[in-house]
A and B are shown apart, each in its own frame.
Chain A
Amino acid sequence: MLWIAIRMLTGDAQKFYGLLFGIGFSTLLITQQMTIFVNLVERGASGVYNAPEAEVWVMDPVSRTTDVSYAMPGTALDRVRSVPGVEWAVPHLRAVANVRTKDGDLEGVGIVGVDDATLIGLPERMAMGDKSVLFAPDSVVIDDVGTTRLFPDADSALGERLELNDQRAVIRGISDAIPSFTSTVVLYTRYSSALNFVPGTRNRLSFVLVGVSEGQTPEAVAARIEAETGLKAETREEFAQAGVNFIIENTGIPTNFGITVFLGFVVGIAIVGLTFSLFLRDNIKQFGALKAIGVTNAKIVQMVGVQAGMVGLIGYALGVIGTVAFIKGFSTNPFFKGFYIPWQIPLISLAAVVVILAITGLIAIRSVLNTEPASVFR
């Protein structure tokens, strides 16, 4: 009988494809929008991910994220270094500046000052050039996505001169970095030269990056730093989360994406509900005949269940494949750099598909179950 159910479904090509489209489109919309949402808000933590060596971030108690920070006096570094469990601690400067390009354009950039000796604070990988180029005077490393904003092609960026607050800077390398939420250009330089690029006040130490000694957990060391210095110390994970939360709390992004995901759900219910009801109504005579001949309601429910399950499975697969193709297709676009599909998202859209089919299936099947077998003679 289940074979007959599947043939009934696929035999009506128009409605079958309509159902697949409804489920597939819903899945695509939900999966794709949630993927973009997650990846986008994760960019709020890009500053943390781009300095992978740091296990603990130490900052002024009012600082919130890598981009929203209040500078500390230089003495903070020594105070952190003296806390037991701190293997190493290096200064880290984050500021914004305006840069004048060769063509005379003005662009807002982020300046990141990394440790002079160890270069801790630089992204893990370089796209062009070597990390050691930073030891040369006046040199900066630009992030790859930022490069595309300032220069038409990456090759032409190397050796390019920039004017940073009347200071000369030469681009000597390109880092392979996770773009920031706003995709602003980020220039990495040594801490000492960053101090020159960023004119300023007495205190300019934004963060102290800390590595913990063997046998110590970052949580324990962070707690000890807070207790002994009065500064705020967060583990890498905590601080990344803080960056994400900041985006979620301070932008309309969750609402916007939430609305789209909800619409995907509603469109799914509408298309699938309508088509499924139409499909069952078109076949009501056949179902009625089956009921008269001697097919139980339980079996009818199974038949409709198989039909819904088949539509759900194929439509869902199409939607997920569509999302993967979308992300892959745009992977070279700087905006989508590093985008991935967290495993939870396909599960969520699968749950949405199940709910859509359960709701629409239950509504649609009622007409079949309520059909009196006697109606076949009418």
Chain B
Amino acid sequence: MDTSTIGNRASEAAICARGIARDFEAGQTTIRVLHEIDTEIRAGEMTYVVGESGSGKTTLISIMCGILWPTEGEVKVFGTDIYKLSDTELVNFRLNNIGFIFQQYNLIPSIDVASNAAVPLIAQGVPRAEARERAKVLLDKLNIGNQADKLPRQLSGGQQQRVAIARALVHEPRLVVCDEPTAALDASSGRRVMDLLREVAVAPDRACIIVTHDNRIFDLADRIIVLEDGRITHDGKEMPDGH
């Protein structure tokens, strides 16, 4: 399957979610945590998904980025109906099209910063030396080029999250998803990380979804989607009143 030639990006949504529902088993009962979500995520924007704890934010973006099967509905990412792919095709689709940023960074402790940032390229089969060079370019942009040969634990939390950002972008994915990227950081480094993320991640043909609680960084959003009990209750440039 060729996922690299998807034409006419401007008119097409990066993500098109139709009728998404997700159930979880909780003991004997089944709980529906997402109810028939219909939405589109556009490229060139930073879209925030906000809402109270347990409202289904993580579940929603997990489904949108191809790591959690929806109970109902379909998800098209750049035109590909991802849950119609075979397991291996879906894994490769993620490898080539999606960048991930996690709350806990999840860097590999025993390899240096440049190699960590190069992981997606290495997984794609790019030779290690070349992959590291490409990662270093990005680390420079994120102002941690001089840390490239250090181990992750020698870096501060904010610096580690920047390594994770480099890892999410190094293979130039067209979709970047972040779940609570600033939750483990103090206010000022969280802000700095998000400023940098906005600088390097937002591009005309790239979509960027960020789940966050952090109201200090809401002003960086191009669009804010609010989830309440598994339903979208607001979708706009600003937060609704009362938040």
Contacts and interface: CB of A to CB of B under 8 A. Distances in A.
Interface in A259-312: 285-286, 288-296, 299
Nearest to A283: B108
Nearest to A299: B123
Nearest to B128: A3
B61 interface: yes
B58 interface: yes
Contacts of B119: 4, 290, 293
A38 B87 CA distance: 52
Interface residues of A, number: 26
Given A4-B119, A293-B123, A374-B62, A288 B92 contact: no
Interface stretch (A7-15, A39-47, A316-324): A7-15
B110 interface: yes
A378 interface: yes
B69 to A, nearest CB: 9
11 contacts: A3-B122, A4-B108, A8-B108, A286-B107, A289-B102, A290-B119, A293-B94, A293-B123, A376-B67, A376-B106, A377-B67
Given A12-B110, A288-B106, A374-B67, A296 B120 contact: no
A197 B2 CA distance: 96
Contacts of B189: none
Interface in B100-115: 100, 102-104, 106-111, 115
Contact of A293 (B58, B100, B110): B100
A253 to B, nearest CB: 47
B95 interface: yes
A3 B95 CA distance: 18
Most buried by A among B68, B93, B110: B110
Interface string A8-40: 101110000000000000000000000000000
- Which applies to chain B's interface (DSSP): helix, strand, loop or mixed? helix
Contacts of B104: 285
A254 interface: no
- Which applies to chain A's interface (DSSP): helix, strand, loop or mixed? helix
A81 B61 CA distance: 96
A295 B109 CA distance: 18
A295 B123 CA distance: 7
A299 B95 CA distance: 13
Given A4-B115, A377-B179, A294 B92 contact: yes
3 closest Cβ pairs, A-B complex: A11-B110, A294-B95, A289-B106
B110 A296 contact: no
A296 B87 CA distance: 9
B122 A4 contact: yes
A7 B111 contact: yes
Given A293-B94, A294-B120, A378 B106 contact: no
B88 interface: yes
Contacts of B94: 292-294
